[in-house]
Structure 1
Amino acid sequence: MDQARTTISKIFNGEPHSYTRFNLTQNMEGDNSQVEMKLSSDMDEEVGENGVGGHLNHNNKRKPYMVQNFGRTPKNLCFMAAATFLIFIIGYLIGYLVHRNKELAPVCASSSAFISEDSVPVHETGAAPIMDWDDVKKLLAQKFTAAKLDPVLSDFSMPNHRAGSSGDEFLGNKVLEKFKSYSMKTWTDEHFVKVQDPPASAYNRFTFKNDPEEHPSGFLSYSATGRVTGAVLYAYYGRESDLRSLRDKNVDMNGRVMLVRAGKISFAEKVANAAKMNASAVLIYPDPTDYSIGGDTPLFGHVHMGSGDPYTPGFPSFNHTQFPPVQSSGLPKILAQTITQNMGMNILRKLGGQNLPNGWDSFNKLGDENDSIVVEVNNVLTEKKIYNIFGVIKGFVDADRYVVIGAQRDAWGPGFAASTVGTSVLVELARSISDMMKHDGFKLRRSIVFASWSAGEYGSVGATEWLEGYLTSLGMKAYTYINLDGIVTGRKEFKVAGSPLMNSLIKNALNEVKINDVTLYSQFGRSNWESNVLEPLKLDNAAYPFLAVSGIPSVSFRFTSGNSDYQYFGTMLDTRERLNSVTASQVPQLAESAGRFAGHIALKLVHDHLLWMDLTKYDNIIRTQVAQINSKVKGVQRMQPKLLPSDLTVQWLISASGSYSRASRTLTADITNSDLEDIEMCRVINDRIMSVERNFLSPYVSPRENPFRHILLGSGPHTLKGLANHLDALKTGNPEADATQFRNQFALATWTIQGSANSLAGDIWSLDNEI
């Protein structure tokens, strides 16, 4: 009403109203476009050829427009009275609408949701009516059930859907049609990728001593090809610690063909570790201690020490793109081949040489120079067209900010645990949340993108190519990636791996999601939930490139059988029957709990005004690793003073660590002390929070040489862990250690941490210059 009275008062008192007029003049050559902006009163008109308004032309004798056209006749007075009444009504309506909009203005929730992980945030009505969180949880539990999930599991089961095959394309179309039926915005992403497949007309083979030649049907994609002859060396699981044990026994590993067990670490890591020791080839077999899959079951996998298409490192595999012919530094230069359990045990029984190191639970010898073997790998490089399928449920406030939920669609064989369960949960989550919006009035603040990836078995190829294709956009707008691959592989334990920023979200979900009427936290968290539930995010996990390549906070989780891995991954035996055998036929029920865990995290991120992210977790990680580096530097300076002179100080790194700590505390204080009744303030704060993960990506390394650029959770010499390992090498006088290179990496890591602190601090005048 106040605004209406003011408006009417101005009309009757003749107070001028300004208007803006744009005069657009554009040169057809495109280089002299102008915008001329002129302001004048509503009561003034430009007169004369000089274009000067009447109120500025003192010689103008013309009467105002109203006076010229309306005399003081009864008829004109009636017109004026009617116009005045109409203006009054319009002003009243404007005032009412303005007052109403103020009541409905978006308001940020209490900052307690961000500061305390145990408190429940109070949500107020925003631009989109926001449902109470308890009601959201109830709706998800009603919509997403084991009974509804069970037929979907059967619907997406297929015996053969290897990446790029007709089965893979069929499933992709089925996912796309499901998304469309939920009224989601859908699209596809096409890539032409290079992968290695086994030879179609020849064999991969090996011959041990005088035994008959063997032709294993399994294979490892991206192995080097060719033929080598060497002496067999048993290397347990092929871990770095296992190879150190061999070195301690003075075993010569140069040119040897290493025989290693499957399990513990990825195939790619086993081959990379062997290559560092100058081995000529690696044979990998499933030992009966770890696998009860039968003596003749082949294994399938890949040995690219990275993710995505290794022949387009750092950029996407789109068609008709003119990229240089380069290869990923993670491609091995030695042969790698899987063999069956019977083949491996036959070799082990005939080995001579030294006894095994202590702790290696086996009965055989290590092998000597007389245990000769010939290995030949003839894999062929092929190009495949793959499709990623997407559907989005758009938010009502920050639609350009989103959570991504994804699952791989392909598998070496049936792949029931590897891909079918995850794809089914993906589709059912999309249906459930869409249904909540259509029929129950639920509104998302931000968007949720559902993604079905192809070529996951070749090393998260589909997902990584999408990341590389849209890296600059995703880094600014994707809040979180939630991985659904392999979420049910047992029922004894529940494990979660992901960004430390997400710890509060994880704990909250554990406390609110139930299995058999008991919360996941009560059943699996027990006395110390972090030690019992959390595990490191591994390189072969599809969530890893989102975190370490793109700087997007990511989470992956699974029901598991305990210490032993699901032994049917990478085989043709990954069927529903086998998964039932390790879950007591509880697959739908376990998938329901896993899906609700994913849905809880996603909905929390798109429902609340402020993001639940734990900045202090990275503070603790940085402090711990900086303390280790400081201790190791002092040790090298004592042992090798010529390599690291005393003038090298860790003070800069310590100061950068302190800057991050202060910036995180300052942001928490800003949230507590600021007036957050402005949705733009929420957006600014959320963007500051999301800059943390992205700014831990080192800007000083090449994506081709070191794709996992995250200095805290990535891999390579640029990481804080890499610096610590380099110091260990310098301390022992390793000839491969380089003090100059260390000092360079040390300086760059220091400034990366400081840069992250600066971004977290926000405005340029708030930066910490103490370094």
Structure 2
Amino acid sequence: MDRVRSVFNNMVKGEQYSRFTTQPDEEGGSQVEVKLSDHGIDDATEVTHQPRGSPCFRPPTKKQRQRKACYMVLGVLLLVSLGYVLGYVSHRAHQQVPATCSAEQKEEEKMSVEASKASEAPKASEAPKASEAPKAPEAPKAPEAPKASEAPKAPEAPKASEAPEAPDAPLDWTDITRLLTQKLTSQAFNKTLSDFDLRSRSAGSDEDLLLANKIFKTFKTQEMDPWNDIHYVQLQTPDSKHPNRVQFGSDEFQPKGYLAYSATGTAEGKVVYGNYGRQEDLKVLQTNSIELKGCVMLLRAGRISFAQQVANAAEKGAAAVLIYPDTEDYKYETKTELYGHVHLGSGDPYTPGFPSFNHTQFLPTQSSGLPTIPAQTITGQMAATILQKIGGPEPEASSGFKGGIPSVPYTLGGSVNIKVEVNNVLVNTEVHNVFGVIKGFTDPDRYVVLGAQRDAWGRGYARANVGTTILTELAKAVHEMVEKDGFRPRRSLVFASWAAGEYGNVGATEWLEGYMSSLDKKVLTYISLDGAVMGRGGFMASSSPLLHSLLESTMKEVKSPLDSGSMYDMAGGANWEINSMRPMAMEDPAYPFLASSGIPSVSFHFITPKVEAYPYYGTNLDNMDHLGYGTNHHTSEMAAVAGQFAGQMALRLAHDHLLRLDVQRYSGVITKAVAKLSKHISKLSKSAGLNPNWLFSARGSFMRAAAGINIAIANTDINDKEACRILNDRIIMVERALLSPYVSPTDAPFRHLLLGRGSHTLAAISETTDMKQLRTQLALATWTLQGCANAMVGEIWEIDNQI
């Protein structure tokens, strides 16, 4: 080893690099010796300033160098051999004996182990006692070696029945629906309904924020990457120091209920009874020569929204509006207070068309849908006092003006004054939308959104609690299907808890306005869970025509909560569209998604037969007991069925290769609207030369484009991911392309050509008598429809330009 060490040291000190040696001379100075590399210099060449120096730095001869190289090779081989031997011995000492090893191998290993133990002789103090000597020492076994009787079994092999399913093995649709039904149980709904039941849940309150945090934690527990969307919105509330008042002769009323976003101030005029305040009701008043300009109109709640009632009255020149619940429509105490809002629109009315992230960065503005006259709710008892004294003519029995309050004549009034004072105040309020997501495995950038409002006036059991419960239970069920059952949704599922829904879908609308550039072409469908359970025995739904086929197929798959049949039978069977479908109204929580953002949307409700409206909305009577009475005490079972129905629609859209959106369903809607408009034009344009042929041509383009999509669907290989994605992008363009690009979202936020509101819609054009406006709107509507057809075609070289 000394020889090897010496060779190694000499190698290190070889002449491969320049060296500088400083040594003192005899006179105390220093001398520098420079040695260069062998390369390019003769072996005998040496450059020095002095012949003196350390012998180890003198250049070796050629023979010495060869000897050193030989020693170096031998040393390296020795080290490698030694390392290999040590590794082999170490590996053999720890190697397990296989179950199939031969007897000779076992004997050799046994001898080796015994020899190693013998070399480790115990100390004298550790010698075994005499009493223990007769015991024969057990032959040592290799670590973890299986017993001979277990040798044929594969170590740790799972049984066939316990073998886990491959994580990428897709579940078929039958498995998915079975799992969803198993996980959405009435017992789970009972617990969550109880956990989320609050005495008060008004928007922006401490209770509301507490519930938002609870939902956030639920989503976090499910590993759904939750996040908050915070807005600062203007909510109108009563002034505690200056209550709203109604003065009628010697009677003064101070109702606790109110209508948010009413105009403030005092109005006085003749009180006039106008039934529900519909256009046909106001025509009855005009037929009876009742003066509407400057009057205070007394209306009963129902049939249309509060906002529409106030807008209709203001259009006729009324000075103020009072709204009450009539006992014919609402079977509860006459002292019950009503709450609601009168904004003819959605979202924060003081940030129309843009989000309310921070009011300070925007100029003051307001929605065109805000009322210009004061509006206030009163109780049925207050209304009875007024109706008994207003006088005036009696309407015809066929008009439907007769209500249900006993001993009240229901005359039209017009002769007695009444004074209304509204002192509501605007409050800048922080509200939180809460989201969780289950991401898709193929197209995670395509979303199906399910949502429910979290706030309500009072307890809001049916209004908010049931929907919020369905939302969270569905999230839990789908998460468990992904984590434990191998479900792999192609697209993402987003679960949203909305704030300030009672003020006109404020939270949802502000989210749409704030992120539409990010949501465009990504949100495939919105499914509203608000008011999903309002009774038992009937079914009602509102949706985009694109979703009618999906609704029908889902109703056939989900069992009826009443008997062994399906929801399809409960909804009317083959006549389900006539019996159960309703046009989507502006107050519907899904409406801003459909009419403002062009997202195919649906809302559905289990109802009591022949009672479409849940009577306790907007009151403090919306509680567990009253909803239980409406569902015959099967609220949790009904909520579970509602969850299965919404869940199956959402999972269909997230699971299938091709989207379940039927573009052909719009053909009938467009044909009907175009026919009505054409008939209207024919009456007005005989002398003006206006021709509806362009509109007919655009309709034809739409029909051909829809047929082309269906042909492409039939010819597409669903295993071709890119082909499916391209085709799905064409399908989701339909709803968005029906939004008119020619109107401002500030002035006309509901821009949908067929389902929106405003002068741009085909329905409004069909009633226009101004020829100049008719010509302009007809041209814009025609090109909107043609643009939709072009978007459906996809490639620009295939666009139909026959128009």
Q: TM-score, normalised by structure 1?
A: 0.80
Structure 1 residue 321 displacement after superposition: 5.4
Distance in 2 (CA, whole Å) between partners of 1:699 and 1:563 is 40
**What is the alpha-carbon distance in structure 1 between the residues aligned to residue 222 and residue 761 of structure 2?**
44
In structure 2, how many angstroms separate the alpha carbons of the residues matched to 1:672 and 1:137? Answer: 25
* Counterpart Cα distance in 2 of 1:552 and 1:237: 32
Q: Give the match for residue 692 of structure 2.
A: 650
Q: Does the 8 A contact of 1:130 with 1:607 survive in 2?
A: no
> Are residues 1:744 and 2:789 paired?
no
Give the drift of 1:688: 0.3
Q: C-alpha displacement at 1:246, in angstroms? A: 2.0
| Mapping of residues 100-139 of structure 1, within 5 Å | 129-139=169-179
- Once the two structures are superposed, the pairs formed by residues 356-755 of structure 1 within 5 Å of their partners are 356-357=395-396, 358-362=398-402, 364-514=409-559, 515=561, 516-564=563-611, 565-637=613-685, 641=687, 645=688, 647-726=689-768, 730=769, 738-755=770-787
Corresponding position of 2:252: 213
For the Cα contact (< 8 Å) 1:231–1:367, is it kept in 2? no
Q: How far is the alpha carbon of 1:374 from its aligned partner?
A: 0.6
CA positional deviation for 1:127 = 11
Map Cα deviations across residues 530-584 of structure 1 (whole Å, 9 max, x no partner). Answer: 1112111111011000000100000000111133311110001110011111111
Task: Report Cα offsets for 1:119-155 as digits up to 9, x if no partner.
Answer: xxxxxx9995421000000000111111111100000
Q: What CA distance in whole angstroms lies between the structure 1 residues aligned with 2:796 and 2:696? A: 22
Matched residue of 2:604: which SS? strand
How big is each residue's C-alpha offset from its partner over 1:415-443, in whole Å with a ceiling of 9 and x where there is no partner? 00000000001000000000011111111
Q: Secondary structure at the match of 1:705?
A: coil
The answer as to whether partners of 2:680 and 2:767 remain within 8 angstroms in 1 is no
Match of 2:199 in 1: 159
1:334–1:245: structure 2 CA closer, same or farther, 3 Å change rule? same
Q: Give the distance between the partners of 1:604 and 1:435, measured in 2 at CA.
A: 17
| Distance across 2 between alignment mates of 1:574 and 1:523 | 26
CA change 1:365–1:584 in 2 (3 A) is closer
The structure showing larger relative contact order (alpha-carbon pairs under 8 Å, at least 6 residues apart) is 1
The aligned counterpart of 1:25 is none
Preserved contact between residue 355 and residue 514 of structure 2 (Cα < 8 Å): yes
SS of 1:371's partner is strand
- Whether the 8 Å CA contact 2:753–2:760 is kept in 1: the answer is yes
Deviation (angstroms), 1:161: 1.0
For residues 231 and 437 of structure 1, the distance between their equivalents in structure 2, rounded to whole angstroms, comes to: 64
Alignment partners' CA distance in 2, 1:365 and 1:353 = 9
Is the counterpart of residue 194 in structure 1 residue 237 in structure 2? no
* Alpha carbons of structure 1 residues 181 and 379: separation in structure 2 relative to 1, 3 Å: same
Q: Quick one: distance in 2 between partners of 1:446 and 1:230?
A: 58
Please report how far the alpha carbon of residue 475 of structure 1 lies from its aligned counterpart in structure 2 after TM superposition: 2.0
Larger radius of gyration: 2
Q: Does 1:260 align with 2:299?
A: yes
Amino acid aligned to 2:206:
S
Q: Distance in 1 between matches of 2:666 and 2:534?
A: 30
User: What do the CA deviations read for 1:502-538 (whole angstroms, capped 9, x no partner)?
Assistant: 0111001100111243210122223411111211111
Paired residues of 2:284 and 2:399 also in contact (CA < 8 A): no
Deviation at 1:265, TM superposition (A): 0.8
- Tell me the CA shift for residue 616 of structure 1: 1.2
Q: CA deviation at 1:739?
A: 2.2
**Cα distance, 1:675 vs. partner?**
4.5
**Which SS does the other structure have where 2:394 is aligned?**
coil
Aligned to 2:327: 288
1:224 match: secondary structure: coil
3-state secondary structure, aligned to 1:450: strand
Aligned-pair CA distance for 1:323:
1.5
Instruction: Give the root-mean-square deviation of aligned CA atoms.
Output: 1.5
> Who is 1:343 aligned against?
382
Query: What is the rounded CA distance, in whole Å, between the counterparts of 2:793 and 2:516 in structure 1?
Result: 24
Whether the aligned pair in 1 keeps the contact of 2:273 and 2:412 (CA below 8 Å) is yes
Instruction: Give the % identical residues.
Output: 50
Q: Unmatched 5+ residue regions in structure 2? A: 1-164, 403-407
2:353 partner letter: G
Q: Is the 8 A contact 2:390 2:414 kept in 1?
A: no
Contact 1:299 1:571 in 2 (8 A): yes
Shift of 1:702: 0.7
Amino acid at match of 2:510: E
CA displacement at 1:292 relative to structure 2:
1.8
Aligned-pair CA distance for 1:719 = 0.4
Distance (whole Å) between structure 2 residues aligned to residue 512 and residue 430 of structure 1: 21
Aligned pair in 2 of structure 1 residues 593, 676: CA closer, same or farther (>3 Å)?
closer
Equivalent pair of 1:235/1:366 in contact (CA under 8 Å) = no
1:258-296 CA distances to partner (integer Å, 9 max, x unpaired)? 100101111001001111111111100000101122111
Range with bigger deviation, 673-682 or 340-349: 673-682
**Counterpart in 2 of 1:93?**
none
Is 2:234–2:426's contact at 8 Å kept on the other side of the alignment?
yes
Mean CA deviation greater in 276-285 or 524-533 = 524-533
Deviation at 1:245, TM superposition (A): 2.3
Amino acid at match of 1:195: L
- Structure-2 residue corresponding to 1:204: 244
CA shift in 2, pair 1:675/1:511, >3 Å: closer
State the SS of the aligned residue for 1:370.
strand
| Letter of the 1:248 counterpart | T
Q: Is the 8 A contact 2:598 2:738 kept in 1?
A: yes
Task: Give, in angstroms, the shift of residue 667 of structure 1.
Answer: 1.3
Q: What residue number does 1:69 align with? A: none
CA contact (8 A) 1:127 1:397 kept: no
CA gap 1:327/1:147 in 2 versus in 1, 3 angstroms: same
Name the CA distance, whole Å, in 2 between partners of 1:507 and 1:525.
11
